[in-house]
Structure 1
Amino acid sequence: MATKHEQIIQHIISLSVGSKISVRQIAKDLNVSDGTAYRAIKEAENQGIVSTIERVGTIRIERKKKENIEQLTFAEIVNIIDGQVLGGSDGLHKTLSKFVIGAMQLDAMMRYTQANSLLIVGNRYKAHELALNAGAAVLITGGFDTEEHIKKLADEQKLPIISTSYDSYTVAAMINRAIYDQLIKKEIVFVGDIATSFEASHFLRVKDTIAKWYELNEKSSHSRFPVVDNKLRVVGMVSSKDIVGKDREIAIERVMSKNPQVVQARTSLASVAHTMVWEGIELVPVVDQAHHLQGVVSRQDVLKAMQQIQRQPQVGETIDDIITSNLEESSDDESVFESKVIPQMTNQLGTLSNGVFTSLITEASNRLLMKVKKADITIENLTVYFTKPVQIDSMLLIKPRLLDVGRLYAKIDVEVFNENQLVGKGLILAQLINR
């Protein structure tokens, strides 16, 4: 049976997009405490199915698909720009396709203002009215208000009209940044994106016998299976080493390994890869917050996803992407790398930031291991020494050197030079993720 928390989440999902949600109403409808309702609404907000807006309340919004994550709802815009909703709050769940800055004559402005767009403009009442009639929402900059009949029109059209104290340029920059941040998130792969669904997963129940394991083993590409109780909660794992040499009529619960490693759908690909390497396991169950089985993720799933990521064009650049693209092999020695210190890599003093320095030696070490062992690395221990500050526009030479390498671990010593002077060192202990 589902917990009260899960029942509230399912109730919220069943509500139509645009519905208003309150703690008190949820508690009354489902006969739960205000605290339980509040925690469930916060979880729904984390899942992207509701949005809370000051002076408006909490509304049900449509969860964005991964391929459309760069699009924002008007509700998210309100939160980004600290806005105040003047009218049309029933349309806050809608998604905007583009925004237009109204810094031109009225007729020219309207040529660019389309349905589902957002017009950013000052206290030009006629522009507000024409935009709403064209199916566009309105964002009024400079903290200005609008006329009452325009607010009523916004309510009728179910299109938000929002006011913010920021100027047009600042607002456009904030929305651009939000879209850019979402594009970066689009490239982050989570377990839920690659896992085998519950319906397609093989699992055992606690009362099954070892004979059932042999049946599943013939159907599956792996030999490790989650074990669930009568409520489908994961309580153990069974692999070939647990059942070898044992009578086939013995119950699974007597031979399973208890308290197994599990992950959730929002666990990152990097995290589950580290868990698999660290624990030496080929398959991990995917569970929800109540520990119910949602699916499984295998080592093959992780490796396939990592290969696909490397083949995809990057849409949003993170600092790591900038560092990686700026690191090149030396023309004199393939095991030595060069990198120019560009503005994005510096701190407020104009010198190389400590975090970027760490990323440089980590990336150089990773590339060296790819050549030697055809393996990625996950850092277990990292010691860094800084000896001199590095100025902007400096050309660094990064020299990673293998001290020891085995099947699972590698030790790497890294020296960093600027104009033949040693400016820093690093000592890395890393686990290998073999391809």
Structure 2
Amino acid sequence: MATKHEQILQYIDDLPIGEKISVRQIAKAMNVSEGTAYRAIKDAENKGYVSTIERVGTIRIERKKKENIEKLTYAEVVNIVDGQVLGGRSGLHKTLNKFVIGAMKLEAMMRYTGAGNLLIVGNRDKAHEQALRAGAAVLVTGGFDTEEHVKKLADELQLPIISSSYDTFTVATMINRAIYDQLIKKEIILVEDILTPLAETAYLTTDHKVSDWYRLKEETNHSRFPVVDRNTKVQGMVTSKDIMGDDMETPIEKIMTKQPMTVSEKTSVASSAHMMVWEGIEVLPVVDDANKLQGMISRQDVLKALQMIQRQPQVGETLDDTVTSQLVVSRGKLKDESTFRCTITPQMTNHLGTISYGVFTTLVTEAANRVLRGYKKGDLVVENMTIYFIKPVQIDRVLEIYPRILEVGRKFGKMDVEVHSEGVLVGKAMMVCQLIDRH
């Protein structure tokens, strides 16, 4: 039986795209309190079912598939640019495929403007009208309004016309940044991308016995299974260690490991890998918000995903990418010793003009990982890092980073890292990495 919260989410999900909703409306339709309705709407917004726009309200939008995540809806554009919707509210759920800056004559502007576009332009009413007729939405910069007949046209065509107080350059930068951020999100592999779905997942119930474990093991050739109740909520995990020496009639519920570690579909693969390595886990149940089983991921699934990430070209560049791209490898004084050089750029500094702690940590971690990968093939997860000290290093100074391997085991590596600038020791750290074997 679904909870009230789940029923409300399903109700919202079933609403037509573009439908406007409110707390009072949902509370009345679902016969719940306004507090319950409010919490469900907020959850729906987090899940991408709806979008809340100031001075407009909450609108049902189409959930984006991951391959289309970089495409913004007009509703998202309104929030990004702190905009005001002048007309065409019913089209806010639509997505834009590109934006056009209208800094040219009208005829030239229209050559670049088509259906699904967003024209960014100032107080040029004729351009507003022509863009709408061409199937494009309009973003009016400088806080200007537009004529009433243009607003009516926007309503008729269900194409938003938005006003923002920012100038054209600022608005374009803000939208471009938002698209760029979405591209980075698109590259992050989540558990939902690699999980074995519930229909293909072998599991036991709390009513099963040890004999059922043996039967399932024979059928699947696996030995680790989640245990669920009648509502498919995860109650435990059972492995060969748990059933060792137990009678065939022993209930699974008595011998299972209760309250097992789980992940959600939106957990990143990197986080799952860290959890598996840290806890020594081979498989993880995937659950929803109600702790209902959605599928499983294994260590092998995670390893394949991590290897795929390394082979994929990156489209969006994160802050880590920006920092680590500055590292240049050079040979050390000793044979087989690697050192790294990096010049401190303005982006790497704090408000005092010296290297920030975050950048220092990133550089040390990356240098150590590169050296460790040369000794031990596989994927690395930083388990622990201790920074003994760090001295201020100002802009344009060159850092020399000396990672030194202290110990390498089958599943871990310990590194000592010294950081010098102009011959002076400016930082020292030690880190321990867990090694994920690819086999």
TM exceeding 0.5: yes
Q: SS state of the match for residue 177, structure 1?
A: helix
User: 4+ residue runs of structure 1 moved beyond 4 angstroms?
Assistant: none
Shift of 1:66: 1.1
Asked whether the 8 Å contact 1:20–1:59 carries over to 2, the reply is yes
Give the counterpart letter for 2:419 in structure 1: V
Of stretches 391-400 and 144-153 in structure 1, the one that deviates more from structure 2 is: 391-400
Given the alignment, which residue of 389, 392, 400 partners 1:389? 392
Shift of 1:248: 1.9
Shift of 1:368: 2.1
Shift of 1:307: 0.3
Corresponding residue of 2:416: 413
Shift of 1:272: 1.1
Of stretches 356-365 and 386-395 in structure 1, the one that deviates more from structure 2 is: 386-395
Q: SS state of the match for residue 40, structure 1?
A: helix
What pairs up with 1:110-129 in 2 under 5 angstroms?
A: 110-129=110-129
Shift of 1:387: 4.6
Give the counterpart letter for 2:293 in structure 1: L
Shift of 1:381: 2.8
Corresponding residue of 2:270: 270
Structure 2, unmatched stretches of 5+, are none
Shift of 1:386: 4.2
Asked whether the 8 Å contact 1:410–1:429 carries over to 2, the reply is yes
2:305 maps to 1:305:
yes
Asked whether the 8 Å contact 1:190–1:267 carries over to 2, the reply is yes
Shift of 1:334: 4.5
Shift of 1:51: 0.3
Q: SS state of the match for residue 103, structure 2?
A: coil
Give the counterpart letter for 1:33 in structure 2: S
Asked whether the 8 Å contact 1:206–1:229 carries over to 2, the reply is yes
Shift of 1:221: 5.3
Of stretches 423-432 and 60-69 in structure 1, the one that deviates more from structure 2 is: 423-432
Corresponding residue of 2:58: 58
Say if 1:370 and 1:58 are closer, same or farther in 2 by CA, change over 3 A.
same
Of stretches 246-255 and 87-96 in structure 1, the one that deviates more from structure 2 is: 246-255
Corresponding residue of 1:100: 100
Corresponding residue of 1:430: 433
2:388 maps to 1:372:
no
Corresponding residue of 1:188: 188
- TM-score where L is the length of structure 1: 0.96
What pairs up with 1:23-34 in 2 under 5 angstroms?
A: 23-34=23-34
Q: For residues 388 and 190 of structure 1, what CA distance do their matches in structure 2 show?
A: 38
Q: SS state of the match for residue 114, structure 2?
A: coil
Of stretches 350-359 and 228-237 in structure 1, the one that deviates more from structure 2 is: 350-359
Give the counterpart letter for 2:202 in structure 1: H
- TM-score where L is the length of structure 2: 0.95
Shift of 1:107: 0.9
Q: For residues 214 and 343 of structure 2, what CA distance do their matches in structure 1 show?
A: 58
Shift of 1:365: 1.4
Q: For residues 237 and 389 of structure 2, what CA distance do their matches in structure 1 show?
A: 46
Give the counterpart letter for 1:39 in structure 2: R
Asked whether the 8 Å contact 1:18–1:93 carries over to 2, the reply is yes
Give the counterpart letter for 1:343 in structure 2: P
What pairs up with 1:131-210 in 2 under 5 angstroms?
A: 131-210=131-210
Q: For residues 221 and 422 of structure 2, what CA distance do their matches in structure 1 show?
A: 54
How many pairs does the alignment contain?
A: 435
Asked whether the 8 Å contact 1:369–1:376 carries over to 2, the reply is no
Corresponding residue of 2:3: 3
Of stretches 66-75 and 410-419 in structure 1, the one that deviates more from structure 2 is: 410-419
1:130-158 C-alpha deviation (Å, 9 max, x unpaired): 11111110111111111111111110000
Q: For residues 329 and 216 of structure 2, what CA distance do their matches in structure 1 show?
A: 49
Asked whether the 8 Å contact 2:132–2:138 carries over to 1, the reply is yes
1:258-307 C-alpha deviation (Å, 9 max, x unpaired): 11111111111121111111211111111111111111111111101000
Say if 1:358 and 1:221 are closer, same or farther in 2 by CA, change over 3 A.
farther
Q: For residues 208 and 293 of structure 2, what CA distance do their matches in structure 1 show?
A: 17
Q: For residues 219 and 24 of structure 1, what CA distance do their matches in structure 2 show?
A: 52
Corresponding residue of 1:358: 361
1:110-137 C-alpha deviation (Å, 9 max, x unpaired): 1111011011111111111111111110
Structure 1, unmatched stretches of 5+, are none
Corresponding residue of 1:341: 344
Q: SS state of the match for residue 308, structure 1?
A: helix
Asked whether the 8 Å contact 1:369–1:375 carries over to 2, the reply is no
